[in-house]
């Protein structure tokens, strides 16, 4: 530390240079996110495979989207005239706009029954959009310009536009949260230290860490194609500003305490880093390991969270090199205008809680365990992947989609497409019979409204194909397409619509009863997937590749991948944290007790998020990302507070464990409570965003940290630590 103090000005210059350079050359992560979208699935996921088959068949590389026209009083002749002109303009500029395979009821009159609502208020045009690296907002502007001055109410919706609005809403929520976080931290630090200098010094130091971390992360995201999601920057902002401020509280508090003991500025810095600094390094190590463990996840959204590991490395370097510069240069002025040089006040409250627990450890443990029973029973999560409900209907894409739901069905707007690929052409009776069999089975599947295919292009059986009078082995009528029909222009149109040019790929369009993103739709997808083998077994397509594409199928695959990745990654994180704790506190059972407390606080958090979701928000399940990110934050950051406590506990090694844990609680309880308030407050700033995901995440983390800091850490852990000794004494006295 003496060397760092000596070279402080050079180190300051290095930090300023690195910060400026990385900020100036930093790629726009939000632009990258908008361009790539959020696609966390691996290439071997069934929905991704089906999507590739669909693109291969259509000879396009885009997603399905909608153009919606609406008049609450029914579309008039003048409206239809304007719509026709607008769609005609789009068709004339299809190549320029990236619009492929547009289907609308004006150019294709036979589609009127499915694309104009029964009440005549809503008209749909469907199309595939090839973005070719373009920003969706720019594409939207170009489409609007091509439509001309339409007076008819209209919206762009579908996969690309909904996803784009979701990313924008999340980004805006994070930016609002970041501003509120800065204000909150300033206020809390002013109140805590009675200083006008520390808040700005702390924020400046953490801000440098964030800018450097984000600069490095952005380069990795851009150059190495690393996963990026709408929660990437949010996690980095919240975790860095939260724990960075926590560490500054611990460090500045010890610095102030040492100055109050009459030490010089240099000696106070050195002592602070030997004690609080050591604790901080160990604490950051747990954060680093927990988030670095996300690299092993095969789920992109989880994997993207390991940018926090980069932030942890940068933060520890900043604390070890830049913060000493600030402490040396400012000295006692750091606490201006406060003239008292005393450290953080001891926490009588925490000491009281710990005193109660170590006095009656068995009773304390039993009471907490009993209280955990209803928590465990109510912590089970019903996950929601419904981005539309999370966003609300104030966005153009979701408002348009809600109109489709009201006047058609949401399932019709974003259907599921079953893809079949064979190594032989399928324009023959053997293959067509198998397709017909699968079509009929899917139609009878619970949750399915309609199915259209090459054999049923209008989503209804063609009686003529069953008119031969022949029957199958099970007594049902045999499906047969006469040779002259196979060669006819009408059937040729069906083949062109539902098969690839080489006739080796075909599709079935499945309309679901429920909202494509709803849990009910996911159940339907599971039933649909279960029909493939049964329907095609023993047919000409028995060995064909079959998979389902579309939002519902992708969401279903995400659900499976997310649960699998959660379980494996959670184990890695827990084991890693335990190993670090074992290394830091050099005691097996206390490390076990702390891990149990962290897990218990997570389950309390999940119970709270479920309550908020059902009773306050009225959502149909907890947002899918909430459980995992709540877990990683509570475990990775909550373990810091345990290290704060146990490092101080080790300083009292010459007294009994009971006395040592009480004195430790009294010494660092105030710091831990302050740190919890800071981190909880940073997450509380997510709530004004209005996004369900961020509100639920904030509620879960805050409740988990509160329970950890006021019950599990000051009471359960100390009780478990002294319980074995108490039981031994009791056993000895009875004998």
Q: Give the DSSP H or E segment for 383.
A: strand 383-384
Entry pTM: 0.83
CB 398 within 8 A of CB 391: yes
Span 415-427, pLDDT tens digits: 899 999 999 999 9
Q: What pLDDT is attached to residue 343?
A: 46
Tokens 């690195």 sit on residue: 18
Residue 345: CB atoms within 10 A of its CB come to 10
For 208-236, the DSSP string reads: HHHHHHHHHHHHHHHHS-----TTHHHHH
Span 635-673, pLDDT tens digits: 988 888 898 888 888 888 778 888 889 999 998 888 888
Nearest one of 19, 437, 391 to 171, comparing CA atoms: 391
Residues 553, 544: Cα–Cα separation, whole Å: 19
Span 320-371, pLDDT tens digits: 999 999 999 998 888 888 765 444 567 889 999 999 999 999 999 999 999 9
Residue 393 pLDDT exceeds 90: no
Tokens 């966003």 sit on residue: 391
- Of the pLDDT bands very low, low, confident and very high (cuts 50, 70, 90), residue 466 is confident
SS3 384: strand
Chain center to CA of 652: 42
Residues 311, 236: Cα–Cα separation, whole Å: 7
Which residues does 378 contact at the CB level (< 8 Å), separation at least 6?
607, 610, 611
Of all residues in the chain, the percent with pLDDT exceeding 90 is: 46
Nearest one of 148, 168, 172 to 160, comparing CA atoms: 168
Burial state string for 613-649 with b = 16 or more CB within 10 A and e = fewer than 16? beeebebbbbbbbbbbbbbbbbbbbbbbbbbbbbbbb
CB 165 within 8 A of CB 391: yes
143 vs 562: which has the higher pLDDT: 143
| Residue 636 tokens, joined | 């990775």
Span 79-120, pLDDT tens digits: 999 999 999 999 999 999 999 989 899 988 877 888 999 999
Mean pLDDT of the residues in the chain? 88
Give the mean pLDDT of 180-206: 88
Which residues does 32 contact at the CB level (< 8 Å), separation at least 6?
221, 222, 228
**Range picked from 159-168, 329-338, 398-407, 441-450 for highest mean pLDDT:** 441-450
Residues 618, 578: Cα–Cα separation, whole Å: 37
Tokens 């805590």 sit on residue: 192
Nearest one of 126, 302, 117 to 227, comparing CA atoms: 302
The C-alpha angle 457, 460, 464, rounded to 5 degrees, equals: 90
Q: What pLDDT is attached to residue 435?
A: 96
Which residues does 16 contact at the CB level (< 8 Å), separation at least 6?
none
Dihedral class, residue 446 (left if φ above 0, else alpha if ψ from -120 to 50, else beta): beta
Residues 431, 418: Cα–Cα separation, whole Å: 15
Give the mean pLDDT of 122-151: 90
């Amino acid at each position: 530390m003496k060397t760092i103090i000596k070279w402080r000005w050079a180190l300051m210059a290095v930090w300023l240079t690195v910060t400026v350079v990385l900020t100036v050359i930093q790629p726009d992560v939000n632009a990258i996110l908008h361009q790539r979208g959020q696609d966390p699935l691996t290439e071997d996921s069934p929905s991704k495979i089906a999507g590739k088959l669909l693109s291969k068949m259509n000879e396009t590389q885009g997603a399905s989207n909608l153009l919606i026209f609406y008049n609450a009083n029914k579309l008039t002749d003048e409206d239809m005239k304007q719509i026709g002109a607008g769609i005609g303009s789009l068709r004339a500029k299809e190549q320029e706009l990236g619009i492929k395979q547009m289907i609308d009821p004006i150019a294709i009159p036979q589609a009127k029954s499915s694309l104009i609502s029964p009440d005549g208020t809503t008209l749909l045009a469907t199309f595939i959009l090839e973005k070719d690296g373009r920003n969706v907002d720019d594409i939207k502007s170009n489409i609007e310009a091509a439509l001309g001055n339409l007076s008819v109410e209209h919206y762009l919706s579908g996969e690309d536009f909904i996803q784009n609005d979701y990313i924008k809403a999340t980004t805006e929520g994070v930016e609002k949260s970041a501003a509120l976080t800065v204000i909150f931290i300033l206020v809390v630090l002013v109140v805590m230290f009675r200083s006008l200098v520390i808040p700005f010094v702390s924020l400046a130091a953490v801000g440098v860490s964030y800018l450097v971390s984000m600069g490095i992360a952005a380069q990795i995201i851009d150059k190495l194609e690393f996963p990026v999601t709408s929660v990437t920057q949010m996690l980095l902002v919240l975790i860095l500003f939260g724990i960075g401020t926590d560490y500054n509280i611990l460090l500045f508090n010890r610095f102030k305490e040492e100055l109050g003991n009459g030490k010089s500025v240099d000696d106070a810095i050195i002592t602070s880093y030997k004690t609080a600094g050591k604790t901080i390094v160990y604490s950051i190590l747990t954060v680093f390991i927990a988030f670095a463990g996300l690299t092993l996840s095969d789920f992109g959204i989880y994997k993207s969270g390991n940018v926090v590991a980069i932030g942890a490395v940068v933060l520890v370097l900043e604390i070890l090199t830049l913060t000493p510069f600030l402490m040396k240069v400012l000295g006692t002025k750091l606490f201006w205008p406060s003239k008292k040089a005393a450290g953080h006040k001891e926490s009588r409250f925490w000491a009281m809680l710990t005193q109660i627990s170590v006095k009656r450890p068995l009773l304390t443990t039993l009471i907490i365990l009993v209280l955990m029973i209803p928590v465990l029973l109510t912590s089970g999560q019903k996950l929601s992947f419904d981005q539309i409900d999370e966003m609300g209907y104030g966005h153009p894409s979701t408002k348009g989609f809600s109109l489709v739901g009201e006047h058609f069905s949401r399932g019709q707007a974003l259907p599921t497409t079953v893809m079949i690929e064979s190594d032989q052409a399928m324009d023959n009776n053997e293959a067509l019979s198998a397709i017909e069999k699968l079509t009929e089975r899917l139609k009878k599947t619970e949750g399915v409204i309609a199915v259209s295919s090459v054999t049923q292009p209008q989503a209804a059986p063609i009686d003529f194909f069953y008119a031969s009078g022949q029957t199958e082995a099970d007594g049902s009528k045999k499906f047969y397409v006469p040779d002259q029909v196979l060669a006819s222009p009408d059937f040729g149109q069906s083949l062109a619509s539902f098969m690839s040019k080489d006739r080796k790929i075909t599709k079935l369009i499945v309309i679901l009863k429920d909202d494509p993103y709803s849990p009910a739709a996911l159940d339907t997808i599971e039933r649909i997937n279960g029909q493939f083998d049964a329907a095609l077994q023993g047919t000409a397509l028995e060995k064909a590749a079959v998979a389902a594409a579309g939002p519902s199928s992708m969401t279903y695959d995400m659900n499976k991948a997310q649960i699998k990745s959660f379980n494996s990654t959670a184990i890695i994180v827990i084991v890693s944290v335990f190993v670090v704790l074992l290394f830091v506190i050099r005691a097996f059972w206390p490390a076990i007790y702390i891990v149990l407390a962290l897990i218990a606080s997570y389950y309390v958090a999940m119970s709270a998020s479920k309550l908020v979701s059902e009773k306050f928000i009225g959502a149909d399940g907890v947002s899918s990302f909430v459980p995992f990110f709540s877990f990683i934050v509570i475990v990775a950051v909550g373990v810091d507070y345990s290290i704060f406590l146990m490092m101080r506990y080790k300083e009292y090694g010459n007294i009994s464990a009971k006395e040592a844990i009480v004195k430790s609680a009294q010494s660092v309880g105030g710091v831990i409570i302050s740190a919890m308030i800071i981190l909880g407050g940073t997450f509380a700033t997510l709530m004004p965003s209005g996004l369900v995901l961020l509100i639920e995440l904030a509620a879960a983390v805050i409740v988990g940290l509160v329970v950890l800091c006021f019950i599990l850490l000051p009471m359960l852990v100390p009780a478990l630590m002294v319980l074995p000794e108490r039981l031994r004494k009791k056993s000895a006295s009875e004998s």
